[in-house]
Amino acid sequence: MQRALARLAGTIDTGAMISMNARARLEHVSEPRVAAEFLHARLGAAANLTEEGFWSRILHRTAEHLFLVILSLAAAILVALPLGILAARSARLAPFILGATGLLQTIPSLALLVFMIPLLGIGARPAIAALFLYGLLPIVRATHAGLTGISAELRASAEALGLPPWARLRLVELPMASRSILSGIQTSAVINVGTATLGALIGAGGYGQPILTGVRLADTGIILEGAIPAALLALSVQWLFDLLGRAVVSKGLR
């Protein structure tokens, strides 16, 4: 890699850079093609001019975006559910847990992504970590609200059955709070779908990549290539969670 980069030293002068930018911005030639043709002309490198098709690009970006969202959401659920349960069980710890997760939500998303770079580098890892932190609050708050909203009479009935605390939680309290918990997970998922578009700024890919490229080239078509699928994915996630709620939450609770 270093040897290949060393061969480029001094080959891209101001005039060449202006010419390549003009081809990309004014003639709407794709950046990979412009770069490949330049390398072929200056260094004799084999130019791979085969461009990825529209649907191939969409599928590739969708896979990258879903990877960021699913991994960060799964981690958020695993951490936020216990935190929400702990906050509901301990009135002393609840303000600290809700306050800490709420504080994370107030940090601007771009600032949080930049803060992750010194810790985790460039790419998918810092983006997943930032999305994980953003996904905590809706789930923690919904879990806490769902558990604390169970009436005292129902709790007393569960205790009268002689169930131990963890059995009451698993068999009575969590099912009663399932609607609220699922709503929090849904909110977290939709937030992550939108916020994940910023991951392109740190090399994480996803739908943010064509948006970023389109802004740089002032090309609305390329921007929409990322913006429209991102909006459709957010709507699809909302719809899927609505279906999941009907399947998981009992009719009485709905």
In a domain, 194, yes or no: yes
| Same domain for 234 and 215 | yes
Instruction: Print the SS3 string covering 20-80.
Output: HHHHHHCCCCCHHHHHHHHHHHHHCCCCCCCCCCHHHHHHHHHHHHHHHHHHHHHHHHHHH
State the angle between helix axes of 174-195 and 54-89 in degrees (0 to 180), rounded to the nearest 10. Answer: 140
| Same domain for 111 and 13 | no
| Same domain for 146 and 24 | no
Entry pTM: 0.78
In a domain, 253, yes or no: no
How many distinct structural domains can be found in the chain?
Answer: 2
| Same domain for 96 and 18 | no
How do residues 149-206 score in pLDDT, each as one tens digit? 877 777 777 676 677 777 777 777 888 888 899 999 999 999 999 999 988 888 888 8
| Same domain for 112 and 144 | yes
The domain containing residue 95 runs over which residues?
A: 54-248
Higher pLDDT, 223 or 27: 223
How do residues 129-153 score in pLDDT, each as one tens digit? 999 999 999 999 999 998 888 777 7
